[in-house]
Structure formats: C-alpha cells, structure tokens
Amino acid sequence: MRVPISWLKEYVDIPLPVQEVAERLTFAGLEVADIQTIGLPGSALPWDPERIVVGEVLEVRPHPDADRLVLATVEYGGGQPKTVVTGAPNLRVGDTGHKVAFALEGARHWDGTSPTPVSSVLKGRKVRGIYSDAMILSEKELGLSDDHIGVLLLDAMAPVGMPLATYMGDVVLDLEITPNMARCLSVLGVAREVAALTGGRVRYPQTRMQAGGESIEGRVAIAIADPTLCARYAATLIADVTIGPSPEWMRRRLRLAGIRPINNVVDVTNYVMLEWGQPLHAFDYDVLVRRAKGVPQITVRPAKTGELLTTLDGVVRPLAPERLLITDAAGPIAIAGVMGGAETEVTDATRAVLLEAANFHFVSIRKTTQALKLPSEASARFGRGVPPSAAAPAALRATELMRELGGGRIARGVADCYPAPQVPSVVVLTTDEVRRILGMDLSRAEIERILTALEFRCEPQGETGLCVTAPDHRLDIGTGVTGAADLIEEVARIHGYDRIPVTEMADRLPPQRDIVPLNLEEQTRDLLAVAGLQEVITYRLTTPQREAQLTPGNDSPAERAYVRVANPISADRVVMRQCLLPGLLEVMAHNARLRDRLWFFEIGPIYLPSGATKLPAEPRRLAIGMAGRLASASWRDPDPSRTDFFDLKGVVEALLRGLHLGAARFEPTTHPTFAPGRTARLIVEEHEVGFLGEVHPQVRAAFDLPPGPVCLAELDLEELLARVPLTHRVAPVPRFPPALQDIALVVDDGVTAADLTAVIRSAGGPLLADARLFDVYRGQQLPSGKKSLAFSLVFQAADRTLTDAEVEAEKRRIVEATARRLGAEPRA
C-alpha cells in the first residue's frame, strides 16, 4: 500500500518528521518498507524551488518555421512572461489558461528523451530560429512517470509563481501490510494508526450526498441469494453525469498510490477505495435498463453451469458454479469483487451510473482470484476482509465526488440490501490479564487511553476490568481469551515493545532429559569429520529417475511409491528422496573438477510412504562417498594413492570403533549399485545395517564421475545407533611388557582374511592380546593359487612378563591350528 503523505495529512495531523512517523509505524507493526520522495529535498532529483515553478500559459501561437512546434507564452510570476518553443500535443494553437510546470534557465530536470534516467540542466538555446531559455515540463522530465508525450497540465487553481515543490512535492510511504492489518489497505486506515501513535484524531471525510434527483427506490432492485457469501450490497444512482478526465490532484494521488487514472467516474471508485478500503464498481445504468427492458433487478448469486461473461479486459470467461456473480435478468454483469463485465462498463458515452458498494466473503473472492488468476486492487482487499459497515459511507462519499467532478443529479437514498448486519466484538479485559501476558503492570487508565485512541469503546467493568467494544473497522478482534489477546497486542504495540521490561524466566524448569539418538548422531558427524570427511547437505527433493540410476540394467524401474509433490516447482524436484547416494554422487561429480580428494558424508532422513498412515516414515540414514586421491598432490607427494574400498572400510571401522560397537562384521555380497566382488554388507550384532562397496562402472558413468574407484556406503543410522552401548568397559593398561611375534602363513586363495584371523584368535587363547594382519603377498615366490598373510601377534599376560618358551608354545599352537583347520603353512 502506497500512501502519499499529502493525502494522509488530509485526515490526520502529522506533528513529526516523516522519517519518525515511518519509524513509529514500523515499530507498531505497520512496516514502512520504503520511503519515496518526490520533488522535495531527499528525492533523486529535487525540483529547484527558484527555477521550477507553476506557470500559466497566456497564449499559444504557431511556430513560423515548423508545423509540429508551437510558441507558448507563459506567465510565471517573475518579470516579463517568457515565450518558449514546444512540441507538446496537448498545447494547441489558441489554448490559453493552462497551468503548467515551468522551468527556468539553470533548472535541473530529467532528460525526456533518454530511455534511462539522465538528468540535464536547462540552458538557453535557439529552437528552429527562436531563442528560448525556459521550458514547459512533462511528467517524465519531473520524474513523476514515463509520460513524455505531452506536458504536465496542473489544476486551474494552481497558484502562478509558486515553487512546484511547494505545490506538489510529496513523500510516499510504501507499507507492507500483514494479514491482520488489512484495515490499513486504505489511507484512512493508516491515518487511524498515525492518530493512535501520535495522540492525534482522525478527520473523516464528508459522507453526505447532495441528492438533487428522485429517490432511487423503484429504479433498481437488489437481491442476495446467500448472505454468507455477500453480507451487503448497496447501490447509489447518479444521472446526467459527464464523463471526462479527473482533476489533476486526483490523478496525481492515484498515480502516487500506483493506480492509473482513467476517467472521473472510474477514478472516483478507485480514489474512494484507496481512501476507505472499500472496493466500488460503477455500472452504466442505461445499459442495465436496456438489458432489463425496465427496472434492473440485480441478484448476487453463484454462477450456473455454462454461464459466460466477457470481462472488461475483453476476455470471454466461462464461469464455474462456485464463482459468485453480479447478475441481472439477462445474465452475469460482473464477477463479484474481482472484475466487471465489458458490456456494462462505464464509457465516454455513459450518462447514468449505478454505483456498487458491496461486501463479499473473503474465501469466495480468494478462490475466484486464484482460479481466474485475476489479482486486482479490489480482490486484494475483499480477499483479506472488508467490514460490511464500510459500504455505506464509501458509497455516499463516492457518489458525491462523482457529482462534484462530473456534474449530474444524485438519486435520493441508497438501495441497501444488508441482510446480516455486522456484530461488533465485545471483550472484557482486566489489568491482571494484561500483566499475565505482558509481564508488566499497565493501569486501567493507560489501557483505556490506548484502546480509545484506536477508536475502541471502553466501559469500566468491576475493579480492574474494561468492557471493550471493537470499532466496525476492526474485523481482527475475537472474543473471550483470544479477544483479550488481540486487545493486549494492541495495547503492547501502541505502548511500545521497547518499553516492555526485560526479565529472566522465573517459571519452573521442565524435567531435563538426554536425547540419546540425537547425541549419537552428532557424535557420528564428529567421528566422520575427524576421519577427514566433509559433511554435505543436499536437496531432499529429487526424481525417481535419479534414484533409478543406482540400479543399472533396470530399464523399467517399477513405479515405486514415493512421497510425490503435487505442485513441483521444477521437473528435477518432484519426489522426496528414498536414498542419500544420488545426492552424494552429484556432489562428488560437481567437486571432481575442483579437488583431488572427494571424501564426503551426509546424514539425513529418507521418506518412505507407509500404507498404514497418511504420513510417511522418515528414517535417518548415513551415506559416505569417497573417491579421488588420499590427499591432494604436493611437492612431498606429487602422486598420492587413490582411494579404494579399504579406505572406505577403514572409515567405517573407525566409526564403529568410535561408537564402541563391538560385534560388527563385513560379509561379501552383491548389490546392483556396486561392482561385483567389491561389495560388503555390514552386520552389527547380527543385524544388517547397510552396504558398502566400489560403485559399478555403469553407475559411475551415469553420474558423470571421472574414472577411478568411487566408494559408497549407505547405512541405516537408526539401526546402527540403536546398538551403541550406553557405556563400555575400559581395560587396564598392562604393567608388564608385551611379547611381539610376526608370522606369515601361506593359504589357498579362497581362504579369507576373516577365516584365518578367526582361527588365530581362537587358537591363541587368553595370552594373545592382538593379531593384526599387516601384509598380503601373492606372486612368484609362491605357487599359483596360494597367498601369504602376515600377522603381527601381541602376547601379553596381566601378571608377569612372558618367557620365550611360553611365547614359542603359543605361536606353535596357532600355527598348528591354522594348518589343521585351513591347511596353512608357515612361510619359509
């Protein structure tokens, strides 16, 4: 909502600088998003009060040498009138008396012909042989609009010689209106706020019509089919009106408020809408009479199947049955509160106007506006709620303004169909309640003062209470506890939030509890970051196609059940993900061009529709993606090794260790995403918690990743963390030195490291503290089909230093056990 200060001042005194008023409004919840200054100091190009003044055109003569140019002699209140050359089409030979914006030599103004804003300084020069050192300015040259076709014509009462900045310089407040402040979609609404915040009073405009005509009774009939959709329909009638342009002051105000002037009748409907917040619509009464072949019978009703209306934008619109219409006996004449019909609109030929001031339910208007995609100033107001009480004063005000501007005779009375008059909200508010919510004491007198300033009616009730009646323009005040809260908000914001004291919470601290899964999830993040992985957060909206790329060869992915968005904003964000890996692969592909080392993880939910309830399950997952080099190349190591499966496994093992998860094992398996032979499933306490492996080359290619191993893991974080022990035992650090022994065992290729390690551990008994595999050898020194696995064994007793003989015996037992159970031989 754009509010010119000059207009606002008509209804309320502004005792403060504009900047300060804007600040007070903003602090009270009416946010001033922008302040635009026009012509005055502070604007982009202030009008020089000495050199840009109101002028009067005394005479317009033909230019002796140019058909398209004229010579205008202008009186400007200083010395001799000046003659200037102009090509403005709205100054014609013979014209006299026009008031104009007149610029003298040295005045700075906008360049009228430049497509971009460029200012220039007026200098005397010859135009087609005639010297001229002054100029009549267009709106564009003044910075008012882009109009440079003709010069700006001022109202006849503009005082000659007055600085233009004094006459029409202005400041426009651009207000952000929150839904509860819909009443401020009007200049009067804003004036009420200013009055309450500055201790002023609103001066309401005159709402009396000089009705010189016959009564409206019998000249229009009004019926409302459903009062819940249309609470009120009021109409006035003015005959013998002359359609023409509005006066310059009205056009200027409309323009400053952002509305294009059209003609006096339409402009008045818009002007009064901006003033009162009540949208109005003007019908050509004679057309209505012609259509009705008699007295127009206006009915407000929902559309019937198959009905059509050509709206005043020339579009033929089919009307769905839920559209609320204004109709007459011949059919629809307007879409209620949204747009009028073309046939009944006011034209230059209109002589009589039927003015509609109605009230439509906001839900109906919102649905229609959305369905037809026809937002308008009227629907913006109806859609946020307009009080039915505003219809009558707005109708009277507008009709009288039409008479003042367009002449004519107003029919006596208002045809007012108002089946369900507005009931004001009445709320009892006590000082105790104010203290309970605000935490501060406000006297009943202070509360009453604030509410009265906002035009609430207050009656004392009991010792500390007030019985408060909301004014008609307040549709946002409820009843009961809610109504009290509504009033407390009014009291608080006018009193000023900055004047509310500050306290520490004294209320009882709720029971404190530890949220174990959350803590463990954060610990998981830390462990992975310590392991050198970068955390990422990706979009949770994706496409089924992206996820299907993880299963190559599956040409027709079964139509999986997804949480699907009904109104996607783009084709690549249509369903909620069921896997974290595609997002991670995309991050890796994105960064592959930038960095050598691509080690990432993400923790977050996936979304699985569940048949039983409407809400999907949102289990949390952990995904790890690792590729590229182990480190970035440097002068110390120009060619670092590439990440492979065992780097990924090392990270997973570090995580398991960090979480103190004991019984975990990795089993070879197959999975369509991963390369055969390089895939494992992770089993923790006999529960499968996820997969890890090197990605299948087809998957790698599908995600546009460069050659080289790409390692991925996706783990069910909830399954994993559920098995983390609440606490774990810490073993004592041995007092006696360990005995270290290395052995290398040759086994068949088919024997796994896990098999051999298990046998060693079980054979080693309690003295074997650790058995760490440190070398794997295949090659010429061994027969084919054989490999050598070397272990570093640590023997340790808690109560003594082991003798060589004891260690030798242990080692022998291990070697014998591996020979017996796996056919292993010690490597020579």
Partner 1 sequence: MTDIPQALTVLQAEALTALEATADEAALEQVRVRYLGRKGSLAAILRGLADLPPAERPAVGKLANEVKERLEAALAARREALQAAARAAALAAERVDVTLPGRPVPMGRLHPSTQVLRRICQIWGDMGFQIYRSRDIETEEMNFELLNIPAHHPARDMWDTFYTMVDGILLRTHTSPGQIRAMREFCPQPIRVILPGMCYRYEQITARSEIQFHQVEGLAVGRHVSMTDLKGTLISFAHRMFGAVRRVRFRASHFPFTEPSAEMDVECMLCEGAGCVVCKQTGWLEILGCGMVHPEVLRNGGYDPAVYSGFAFGMGPERITMLKHRIEDIRYFWTNDLRFLEQF
Q: Which stretch binds partner 1 (CB under 8 A): 301-309, 412-420, 429-437, 676-684?
A: 429-437
- Taking CB under 8 A as the criterion, the residue among 538, 542, 578, 673 binding partner 1 is 538
Q: Which helix (H) or strand (E) holds 480?
A: helix 480-495
Handedness of CA 375, 380, 385, 389 (dihedral sign): negative
For residues 629-668, which are near partner 1 according to CB under 8 A?
630-632, 634-637
Q: Which is nearer to partner 1, 306 or 511 (CB)?
A: 511
- Taking CB under 8 A as the criterion, the residue among 463, 507, 555, 799 binding partner 1 is 507
**Cα(202)–Cα(188) distance, integer angstroms:** 8
Minimum separation from the CB atom of position 476 to partner 1 (A): 9
Q: Are 340 and 311 in contact (CB under 8 A)?
A: yes
Q: Which is nearer to partner 1, 52 or 488 (CB)?
A: 488
- Taking CB under 8 A as the criterion, the residue among 439, 668, 676, 765 binding partner 1 is 439
- Taking CB under 8 A as the criterion, the residue among 262, 438, 744, 758 binding partner 1 is 438
Q: Which stretch binds partner 1 (CB under 8 A): 14-22, 198-206, 609-617, 697-705?
A: 609-617
Q: Would you mind telling me the total number of residues written for the chain in this entry?
A: 828
- Taking CB under 8 A as the criterion, the residue among 587, 767, 793, 802 binding partner 1 is 587
Q: Which stretch binds partner 1 (CB under 8 A): 83-91, 255-263, 491-499, 717-725?
A: 491-499
Q: Which is nearer to partner 1, 322 or 816 (CB)?
A: 322
Question: How many chain residues bind partner 1 (CB under 8 A)?
Answer: 100
Query: How many other C-beta atoms lie within 10 A of the C-beta of residue 283?
Result: 28
Binding mask of the shown chain, residues 365 to 394, with x at each position contacting partner 1 by CB under 8 A: -xx---------------xxx---------
Give Cα 150 distance to the centre of its chain: 40
**Cα(67)–Cα(304) distance, integer angstroms:** 59
- Taking CB under 8 A as the criterion, the residue among 131, 539, 646, 736 binding partner 1 is 539
Minimum separation from the CB atom of position 532 to partner 1 (A): 4
Q: Which is nearer to partner 1, 36 or 792 (CB)?
A: 36
Q: Which helix (H) or strand (E) holds 524?
A: helix 516-530
Q: Which is nearer to partner 1, 496 or 823 (CB)?
A: 496
Residue matched to tokens 């400007």: 76
**3-state DSSP of 294-335:** CCCEEEEEECCCCCEEEECCCCEEECCCCCEEEEECCEEEEE
Q: Are 415 and 215 in contact (CB under 8 A)?
A: no
Q: Which stretch binds partner 1 (CB under 8 A): 61-69, 586-594, 682-690, 818-826?
A: 586-594
For residues 454-483, which are near partner 1 according to CB under 8 A?
480-482
Q: Which is nearer to partner 1, 397 or 473 (CB)?
A: 473
Q: Which is nearer to partner 1, 113 or 634 (CB)?
A: 634
Q: Which stretch binds partner 1 (CB under 8 A): 418-426, 487-495, 653-661, 683-691?
A: 487-495
Minimum separation from the CB atom of position 376 to partner 1 (A): 15
Minimum separation from the CB atom of position 190 to partner 1 (A): 15
Q: Which stretch binds partner 1 (CB under 8 A): 222-230, 283-291, 401-409, 501-509?
A: 501-509
Handedness of CA 313, 316, 322, 327 (dihedral sign): positive
CA atoms within 13 A on the CB side of 492: 19
- Taking CB under 8 A as the criterion, the residue among 57, 100, 151, 528 binding partner 1 is 528
Q: In angstroms, what CA-CA distances link 669 with 385, 662, 663, 666, 708? A: 64, 21, 19, 9, 21
Angle at 59 between CA 54 and CA 62, to 5 degrees: 125
Q: In angstroms, what CA-CA distances link 222 with 111, 309, 565? A: 53, 20, 45
- DSSP structure class, residue 767: G
For residues 159-218, which are near partner 1 according to CB under 8 A?
178-182
DSSP string covering 357-373: EEEE-HHHHHHHHHHHT
Angle at 304 between CA 300 and CA 305, to 5 degrees: 160
Q: Is 636 left (phi over 0), alpha (psi -120 to 50) or beta?
A: alpha
Q: Which is nearer to partner 1, 604 or 690 (CB)?
A: 604
Minimum separation from the CB atom of position 533 to partner 1 (A): 4
Q: Which is nearer to partner 1, 168 or 651 (CB)?
A: 651
Minimum separation from the CB atom of position 808 to partner 1 (A): 42
Q: Which is nearer to partner 1, 220 or 711 (CB)?
A: 711
Q: Which is nearer to partner 1, 591 or 741 (CB)?
A: 591
Q: Are 327 and 358 in contact (CB under 8 A)?
A: no
Q: Which stretch binds partner 1 (CB under 8 A): 282-290, 311-319, 504-512, 664-672?
A: 504-512
For residues 508-527, which are near partner 1 according to CB under 8 A?
508-513, 515, 518, 522, 525-526
- Taking CB under 8 A as the criterion, the residue among 541, 579, 722, 794 binding partner 1 is 541
Q: Which stretch binds partner 1 (CB under 8 A): 203-211, 443-451, 588-596, 677-685?
A: 588-596
Q: Which is nearer to partner 1, 500 or 809 (CB)?
A: 500
Could you tell me the two tokens for 88?
A: 């403005």
For residues 19-48, which are near partner 1 according to CB under 8 A?
26-29, 31
Q: Which stretch binds partner 1 (CB under 8 A): 237-245, 624-632, 782-790, 797-805?
A: 624-632
Could you tell me the two tokens for 730?
A: 């810490």
Q: Which is nearer to partner 1, 116 or 567 (CB)?
A: 567
Minimum separation from the CB atom of position 61 to partner 1 (A): 51
- Taking CB under 8 A as the criterion, the residue among 348, 498, 559, 804 binding partner 1 is 498
Q: Which is nearer to partner 1, 190 or 250 (CB)?
A: 190
Q: Which is nearer to partner 1, 102 or 599 (CB)?
A: 599
**Cα(488)–Cα(470) distance, integer angstroms:** 13
The residue type at 487: L
Minimum separation from the CB atom of position 436 to partner 1 (A): 6
Q: Name every residue whose Cβ is closer than 8 Å to that of residue 388 and which is 6 or more positions away in sequence.
A: 231, 232, 359, 418, 420, 421, 422
- Taking CB under 8 A as the criterion, the residue among 142, 216, 391, 488 binding partner 1 is 488
Is residue 340 near partner 1 by the rule CB under 8 A? Answer: no
Q: Which is nearer to partner 1, 571 or 730 (CB)?
A: 571
Handedness of CA 282, 284, 286, 287 (dihedral sign): negative
Minimum separation from the CB atom of position 812 to partner 1 (A): 43
**Cα(154)–Cα(99) distance, integer angstroms:** 5
CA atoms within 13 A on the CB side of 487: 37
Q: Are 165 and 52 in contact (CB under 8 A)?
A: yes
Could you tell me the two tokens for 12?
A: 């309320």
The residue type at 598: L
Q: Which is nearer to partner 1, 276 or 601 (CB)?
A: 601
Q: Which is nearer to partner 1, 121 or 565 (CB)?
A: 565
Q: Are 381 and 273 in contact (CB under 8 A)?
A: yes
Q: Any bridge partners for residue 603, and if so which?
A: 622
Could you tell me the two tokens for 479?
A: 């009843």
For residues 278-307, which are near partner 1 according to CB under 8 A?
none
DSSP string covering 119-185: EEE---EEETTEEE-EEEPPHHHHTS-S--SS--EE-TTPPTT-BHHHHH-EEEEEEE--GGGGGGS
For residues 564-583, which are near partner 1 according to CB under 8 A?
564-570, 573, 576
Angle at 82 between CA 76 and CA 83, to 5 degrees: 130
- Taking CB under 8 A as the criterion, the residue among 316, 349, 506, 726 binding partner 1 is 506
